[in-house]
A = this chain, B = another copy of it.
Amino acid sequence: MFEPTAEQPQAQDLNAPSKNELKNAGQQELAAQKAATDVDYAAESYGQLPLHQSQSRPGKPRVDIVSLPSHVGDTVLLRARIHNSRAQGSKMVFLNLRQRTESVQALMIVSPEKVSKLMVKWAAGLATESIVLVEGIVKHSPEIIKSVTVGTVEIEVTKLFIIAGVETVLPFTVEDADRTEADIEVSGNQFNRVHLDTRLNNRVIDLRSHTNQAIFKLQAAVGDLFRQFLNSNGFIEIHSPKLQGAATESGASVFQVSYFKVDIVGNAFLAQSPQLAKQMAIAADFERVYEIGPVFRAENANTHRHLTEFMGLDLEMTIEEHYHEVMELLDGLFLSIFRGLRKKYQKEIQAVSRQFPAEEFKWREGPEGTLKLTFKEAVDLLVEDGVPREELDDIKTENEKRLGRVVRAKYETDYYIIDKFPMELRPFYTMPDPTDPTLSNSYDFFMRGEEILSGAQRIHEPKLLERQMRGQGIDPESMRGYLDGFRLGCSPHGGGGIGLERVLMLFLKLNNIRRASLFPRDPRRLEP
């Protein structure tokens, strides 16, 4: 499969301790012939390695780029991508080597009995994004190299092998992917911009960018911070099924699944949220539960903030006295996430803001606490700002964003809560307000004027729940399993559901939710 050529001699088992002497070009060619038949033969200075099938395990440590400054003077071995390369005459080539978000300069110079002209020529011709195994000596760089992240040292390459090549034309380079709008303006070349669809169609290379490596480290961080806070507050993680027997919550926007023979169980549906399961867990005495899992929305909405599949961070807890216990816990959760991100992930946040410049996300700390408005107060703020009151039965996306601007100007925060939504805007299982039946014990949380959490006290009393179902045209019989849970006795409870990608998009101001999803799904996208 990997036949050696004159220009790309094949080598193998670079690391075998006794076999890595350097050879001159003539010896290399002989060795390459041998390597083709003898996988245990070793020690060319350069070339394509045979297919890595775990032929041997010499146990020679490989280093990370970030650790190189502590290896000055050492000969090191590392696996990296070729981010780019630049030949200087025929005797020298500079390679920018990359591992995730770190990069270092490597230098290859013709040198008797070490590096042949052929080897330099070969190295200069290596495709960007090739994965190479590099052996070299770590040296202090004469001056700090600004084009890499680890600029105080450089590697003087003694051996260079391809582990995996690139077998297609790159749709764009990782450098292209990381280009900022400012870079593009300076270059004056609008064609340098990589559009979102091109990125998503070629997501594997897009994800290699510095920005994306940081975004998905932050995505994992949000999940970790979510779990840490809840685990330390007596919650237990549950996993509820995504396949459901009935199209619950709202029949209109669920995906239908062929589930075995129709005459055995009929069709199934994908859960629109873990709502019903979470509540059953409360009825089953779990007291405080959370789930991190996919939620599916069959809404044909191609907006900047909707996906057909996204990660739900859901929780549900029993209430002792008042649903504000839940709202306050959720507030504590968000503050803990924001603080955790700012404290521990400053580097990643900075990396993203290079490409997505934004005013830093603001929230209120200190005794005044998070801004909490009632729905009515929010409407009043918008009316004060000039929106006709009659448009504000609901606060739609456009006015939501306007409210975000009004709130930021007035209260200096990008994060706030709206409480006491009108009952008619909420799902059937929402608990009505005790004094005004047109209102409900429900809240939304906002970041930069967009909803990131919707939650409420739920109805735990089966007769009221049935009445509300009927009021919204849902046949209680179709949700019998759910109702039965409450008939068996269920504590007052409430909770909420957070969209992971939305939190990430809005904290970082990515402007499109697809950028916060590894392989996004929308009405038009099912690949890759």
A520 to B245, CA, bound (A): 12
Q: Are B243 and A208 touching (Cβ within 8 A)?
A: no
Q: Are A489 and B431 touching (Cβ within 8 A)?
A: no
Q: Are A464 and B39 touching (Cβ within 8 A)?
A: no
Stretch from A105-113, A278-286, A355-363 contacting the other chain? A278-286
Please give, as numbers and ranges, the residues of chain B lying within 8 Å of A517 by CB-CB distance: 239, 241
A125 at the interface (CB under 8 A from B): no
Stretch from A26-34, A46-54, A184-192, A373-381 contacting the other chain? A46-54
A151 at the interface (CB under 8 A from B): no
Please give, as numbers and ranges, the residues of chain B lying within 8 Å of A500 by CB-CB distance: 239
Known contacts A53-B432, A309-B241; decide if A129 and B488 are in contact (CB<8 Å). Answer: yes
Binary flags per residue of A228-272, CB closer than 8 Å to B gives 1, else 0: 000100001111111111100000000111111000110010100
Please give, as numbers and ranges, the residues of chain B lying within 8 Å of A320 by CB-CB distance: 62, 79
A284 to B281, CA, bound (A): 38
A287 at the interface (CB under 8 A from B): yes
* 8 Å CB interface, A24-73 against B: 39, 51-60, 62
Q: Are B464 and A323 touching (Cβ within 8 A)?
A: no
Q: Are A166 and B311 touching (Cβ within 8 A)?
A: no
Q: Are B284 and A205 touching (Cβ within 8 A)?
A: yes
Please give, as numbers and ranges, the residues of chain B lying within 8 Å of A490 by CB-CB distance: 131, 164
A51 partner, pick from B227, B321, B461, B523, beta carbons under 8 A = B461
Q: Are B484 and A528 touching (Cβ within 8 A)?
A: yes
Closest to A284 in B: B207
Binary flags per residue of A510-528, CB closer than 8 Å to B gives 1, else 0: 0000000111110111111
Known contacts A240-B518, A241-B519, A481-B527; decide if A204 and B280 are in contact (CB<8 Å). Answer: yes
Please give, as numbers and ranges, the residues of chain B lying within 8 Å of A167 by CB-CB distance: 462-463, 486-487, 489
A236 to B81, CA, bound (A): 20
A277 at the interface (CB under 8 A from B): yes
A interface residues (Cβ-Cβ under 8 A, vs B): 1, 15, 39, 51-60, 62, 79, 81, 99-100, 129-131, 163-168, 170, 202-208, 212-213, 216-217, 219-220, 223-224, 227, 231, 236-246, 255-260, 264-265, 268, 270, 277, 280-281, 283-287, 292-294, 296, 298, 300, 308-309, 311, 318-324, 431-434, 441, 457, 460-464, 481-482, 484-492, 500, 517-521, 523-528
